Structure 1
Amino acid sequence: MSAFQFDLVAMPQEAEDARSDIRAFLEDELKKKRFEPHLCTWSSFDPEFSKRLGQAGFIGMTWPAEHGGKNASMLTRFVITEELLAAGSPCGAHWIADRQSGPQILRHGSPRAKAEILPRIVAGECYFGIGMSEPGAGSDLAAVKTRATKVDGGWSISGQKIWTTNAHLVNYMIVLARTGDAGPSRHEGLTQFIVDMSSDGVTPRGITDLAGNHEFNEVFFDECFVPDDMVVGEVGEGWSLVTGELAFERSTPDRFLTDYQLFRALVDRIGPEPDRGQAVQIGEMVAELASLRRMSISISGMLDRGDQPVVQAAMVKDLGTAFERSVPEIARVMVAVEPTRQTDDPFVEAMAETVLRAPSFTLRGGTREILKSMIARGLDLR
């Protein structure tokens, strides 16, 4: 059996300094009433906040200075991320670009893509969507049917993607498309493309969720042209690139802090003198949250070393989103209230919003079934 572990990682001083800096930035933002803390922070789309965050140097900070970054560690970025989430800041505009699309372009993009796109991401002025999932394929990325055909000077893409967060608002999407035969493994013949969302042949259509929000989209591609220098990596390398990208997507604190506002409101509602049962339940939740945080920090350390902790990231995502799903269920048992969005009670409002969003927590970024399969393969159990 193959073993993997999550080594204890100490936060460097630069990360602790960054924590002080981002807290000061957020305190100033709140003092000036530039945003109200959001109940689901990373899916809130606020370009003006992202621009201010970029101007303060908190986006793309792990990237080289030549692309606008600060050469900071992934551990420093972890600190910035968890502070943004804990504050309920509206991060949705720049989130995907900073978390995974930018690093993917930095490692595998063409000189043109790096020069034109990365500085705009760092400035908080360029936003990305994820073009992976498809109807009938879901988390089984090897089953994608969107096809890219070689044409003069580039590629013509036709097909459909689904559950693409903020596709109607972003500038670009990295699209996984089939460019050749799947082969016995079904992993061959896949390629990633940087698609300009203003291109001819791209049509987003909104999907309204249970909370009444339009964040998800279907996106249709009808012979959309993509230049050769907007291919990510080499043609046919899509599977290895997309699995590496998922290590960034699945391991970050947004996989266990999505409903942190409800958790905090629950602790406030219980108060400083819980009964024995409440103390035990809150203690268990804090212990689980602390464990997830340690695992996620460990993965940041692996990424700093240049590793690709795909299986470890899948485990954090599986356990983290399961924790997120449990928070509203535990809160409903501990505090008997009727969830409603028409209230001045922060706990009741947080409960209502989270109950509506919770079904998506274990679906986005890969279903639990797919993640468990990946973990089993990583442990040589299948």
Structure 2
Amino acid sequence: MKPTPRPESCAELRDQVRRLTTEWRDAGRYIPRSDSWLRSFDLEFSKELAAHGLVAMTYPKEFGGAGRTHVERLAVTEELLRAGAPVAAHWIGDRQIGPAILRHGSRRLQEEIVPQIASGDAVFCLGMSEPEAGSDLASVRTSAEPVEGGWRVNGHKIWTSQAHNATHAYLLARTERTERKHEGLTEFVVDMKAEGVLVTPIVDLSGEHHFNEVRFENAFVPAHRVIGEVGGGWRQVVEQLSFERGGAERVLSSYPVLVELIAETARQTDDRELNALLGSLVARLAVLRRLCFEVAQAMDAGQAPVQQAAALKYLGNAFERDVIDALRRTDLTRDATPDSVFGQALLASPGFGLRGGAAEVLLSLIARQEARS
């Protein structure tokens, strides 16, 4: 269990991030954008954050981390998302792969991979989703067969963000065929430069490339690159999803749109309906930020708040779509382009309810929690 952070430490961290992002933005080194944690990639920026101790914040110091709390990390991630900063290079590895390896990986794997995440040298993509499997992770067909010295992987992953920039992939693969699809799954760390790993770009309607298909054709993975128990991947991945679903990025991906809406409402002070709508959105945001805080507190207590994180993601998805819809009521969307704040958020919005689990999956998790209570 991590110690309770001092309120002043969170305030100091927020000030530090604000100074850093303002310096980079004012120097023209990045342009704020929506969905920056997934689409805005700048390895130099991530490495500067790492040099300031703002990556791997919750990791033990022996592995290059800062030994801070998840509540303190939340303060930093909120500020980075609020600034629309280019954080995609380190986000996946920092958010969930490092914690997964620290919880379940061997000492050798921890020493090999975790310091690289902390320094920004390891860039991770997620090899979870597959064609025809949707949000049903237990239906993965990618297989890993034991061979001398490790595993031979064959299969196909899709919607793999930043795979073309990644040095490593987290991979969920089937190591045993069983009658129960949730059994026989194993987690791996794969070198993206390994022979047999093939990346094909998926370009969206705006011409932007951050999605990819990844194929594994007899790709070799060394034995020590298994995360945790062989065949025990489902329990581990469900736990890992609390890190993926329970963060501020499920609430603040469209924050630049909310900023524009606030500014427009200030200009249209006589539009009572718009003012009421904005007030409702701001109130909802306050509640969602509180949920983020409670998830972070649970993690600091050593828990894996799976259901709480699912509830946060479900409510956060609805909030972000409603922010975008609210801006449609103004004149700001009339001449919007794909590169505008509104255009970026609108193009990203179809993915809000899919990535990290579709609504049906999240509601199922929440319902199981209610059934037990």
Aligned partners of 2:204 and 2:359: how far apart in 1? 20
Provide the residue aligned with 2:294 in structure 1.
Answer: 298
The CA deviation at 1:336 is 6.4
2:27 corresponds to 1:32: yes
Provide the residue aligned with 1:52 in structure 2.
Answer: 48
- Which of 257, 262, 268 does residue 252 from structure 2 map onto? 257
2:57 corresponds to 1:61: yes
What amino acid does structure 2 have at the position aligned with 1:73? T
Provide the residue aligned with 1:4 in structure 2.
Answer: none
Provide the residue aligned with 1:362 in structure 2.
Answer: 353
Aligned partners of 1:350 and 1:227: how far apart in 2? 44
The CA deviation at 1:181 is 3.0
Aligned pairs for 1:251-330 within 5 A: 251-271=246-266, 273-330=269-326
2:368 corresponds to 1:380: no
2:22 corresponds to 1:22: no
Helix, strand or coil for the counterpart of 1:200?
coil
Contact 1:11–1:75 (CA under 8 A) maintained in structure 2: no
The CA deviation at 1:213 is 1.0
The CA deviation at 1:216 is 0.8
The CA deviation at 1:342 is 7.5
The 1:16/1:211 distance shift into structure 2, 3 A limit, reads: same
What TM-score, normalized by structure 2, do the two folds share? 0.94
Q: Percent identity?
A: 44
Alpha carbon RMSD of aligned pairs, Å? 1.8
Helix, strand or coil for the counterpart of 1:215?
strand
Unaligned runs of at least 5 residues, structure 1: 1-8, 344-348
Provide the residue aligned with 1:5 in structure 2.
Answer: none
Contact 2:150–2:221 (CA under 8 A) maintained in structure 1: yes
Aligned pairs for 1:100-139 within 5 A: 100-139=96-135
What amino acid does structure 2 have at the position aligned with 1:91? V
Provide the residue aligned with 1:201 in structure 2.
Answer: 196
Contact 2:338–2:344 (CA under 8 A) maintained in structure 1: no
Contact 1:117–1:126 (CA under 8 A) maintained in structure 2: yes
Provide the residue aligned with 2:151 in structure 1.
Answer: 155
Cα displacement string for residues 248-292 of structure 1 (whole angstroms, at most 9, x for unaligned residues):
000101001111101101111222535211210000000111111
Contact 1:211–1:353 (CA under 8 A) maintained in structure 2: no
The CA deviation at 1:11 is 6.5
What amino acid does structure 2 have at the position aligned with 1:230? R
The 1:342/1:259 distance shift into structure 2, 3 A limit, reads: closer
The 1:268/1:377 distance shift into structure 2, 3 A limit, reads: same
What amino acid does structure 2 have at the position aligned with 1:120? Q
The CA deviation at 1:371 is 0.9
2:157 corresponds to 1:166: no
Aligned partners of 1:56 and 1:39: how far apart in 2? 24
What amino acid does structure 2 have at the position aligned with 1:256? V
Aligned partners of 1:234 and 1:269: how far apart in 2? 53
Aligned partners of 1:201 and 1:324: how far apart in 2? 39
What amino acid does structure 1 have at the position aligned with 2:94? D
113-122 or 317-326: bigger deviation? 113-122
- Which of 221, 240, 243 does residue 245 from structure 1 map onto? 240
The CA deviation at 1:12 is 3.5
Contact 2:164–2:201 (CA under 8 A) maintained in structure 1: yes
Q: How many residues align?
A: 368
Cα displacement string for residues 141-174 of structure 1 (whole angstroms, at most 9, x for unaligned residues):
1111111100001001101111110111101111
What amino acid does structure 1 have at the position aligned with 2:287? S
Contact 1:211–1:357 (CA under 8 A) maintained in structure 2: no
Aligned partners of 2:140 and 2:338: how far apart in 1? 41
Aligned partners of 1:12 and 1:201: how far apart in 2? 49
Helix, strand or coil for the counterpart of 1:204?
strand
What amino acid does structure 1 have at the position aligned with 2:197? V
The 1:156/1:37 distance shift into structure 2, 3 A limit, reads: same
359-368 or 333-342: bigger deviation? 333-342
Aligned partners of 1:47 and 1:289: how far apart in 2? 30
Aligned partners of 2:187 and 2:150: how far apart in 1? 13
Cα displacement string for residues 88-116 of structure 1 (whole angstroms, at most 9, x for unaligned residues):
11001111011111111122222232222
The 1:268/1:235 distance shift into structure 2, 3 A limit, reads: same
